[in-house]
Structure 1
C-alpha cells in the first residue's frame, strides 16, 4: 500500500520477509549505536542478535521509499506488562523494532509511519506499549503522539499510549 503525505516522500509498508533479517539487523546496529554507546551498552554482536532472535515475518513490516528499504516497524500482540502479575490490557500491542535509516530521519517519515500504526491500533481500540532507550530522541516523537511513561530503569523507558476511547486515550 503506497502512502503519501505532504511532508514526506511517497512511502509504503510491505510485509517482512526472511531475507530482510540481515539488512534490518544492520540497520538496527547503525541506528542504535550512538545511544547504546552513550549508555555503555553497545555490543556489535548483541545488537544484531536481538533483532535476529525476535524478528517475525508475521508482525514486521518494511518501510520502503522509492522501492528501497528505508526502515521497519514491528507491532505484535502485547504480552505481560513490566509489573509482575499484572495482566496485559486485552488487545494491547507492542511496538518494537521501529528504525529508519539515517537518510530518512528528520523528514517526517517516522511521524507518518507512527501515525499509520497508531491509526490501526485506534481502529482496534488497542493500547500500544513500547520501550525506548534513556535519552533517545525518539522519546519526544512518542510523547508527541500521546505516549506516557509507565516506568523506567537506568537503560530503558517503558511507555504506553492508551486505547482510543478509553480514559487517557486519543479521542477523549
Structure 2
C-alpha cells in the first residue's frame, strides 16, 4: 500500500462519462451511508434518484488514484459563483489527503476566474469539519443541510 503522500501525488481528475453513472451512484451511496444512517434518513433508492435527477456529465469529474476510481466531484457554474455540488471519496480511501488535493485544484480553478465556491453539507456529517478546515465559512442552514462559501482569493481590480 502506498503512503498517504504518494497517494496524494497520484490523484487524477478525469472527465466523467455517462458510462460512469452506476459507479458514481454507488460511490455516493457508500460515502453518505454513515451520515444518513446517523440521522435516520438512509434510503439508497432515494439517494440514487436524487443523484440521477441532477446528474450533469459535463460538470462531473472522476477522482482516480493509481488508476482506480475512488470518488468524484461535481462543480456547477452558476455564473456568479461555483457550486461544489458533490465531492465524494469512498470510505476506504478517506483520510489519505485525496479530498484535500481535489479541493486545492478546485480552489486554484475558482481563483483563476475570480469565483467564490458554495457547498452544502448534511448536518451531523464529518464533511462540515472538512469544509471549515479548508477555509469555507458557514452562511446558513436548512432543515437537513449547512451551507458554506469560500471566497475567491483573486481580487478584482477595477483600475490599474
Instruction: Report the TM-score, using the length of structure 1 for normalisation.
Output: 0.82
Structure number having the greater helix percentage? 2
- Partner deviation per Cα, 1:102-156 (whole Å, 9 max, x = no partner): 1210011110111111110011110100100111111112112211111112310
The equivalences for 1:1-172 within 5 A come to 8-78=8-78, 90-166=79-155
1:165 Cα shift?
3.6
- What SS is found at the alignment partner of 2:140? strand
- What SS is found at the alignment partner of 1:136? coil
Say whether the 8 Å CA contact 1:39–1:155 is kept in structure 2: no
Q: Which residue of 2 aligns with 1:83?
A: none
Q: Which one has more relative contact order, counting CA pairs under 8 Å at least 6 apart?
A: 2
Q: Give the superposed CA RMSD.
A: 1.7
CA distance in 1: counterparts of 2:143 and 2:124, whole angstroms: 10
CA distance in 1: counterparts of 2:136 and 2:9, whole angstroms: 26
CA distance in 2: counterparts of 1:11 and 1:112, whole angstroms: 7
Instruction: Report the TM-score, using the length of structure 2 for normalisation.
Output: 0.88
Of 139-148 and 21-30, deviating more is 139-148
Q: Unaligned regions of 5+ residues in structure 2, if any?
A: none
Q: Unaligned regions of 5+ residues in structure 1, if any?
A: 79-89, 168-172
CA distance in 1: counterparts of 2:132 and 2:6, whole angstroms: 22
Of 158-167 and 39-48, deviating more is 158-167
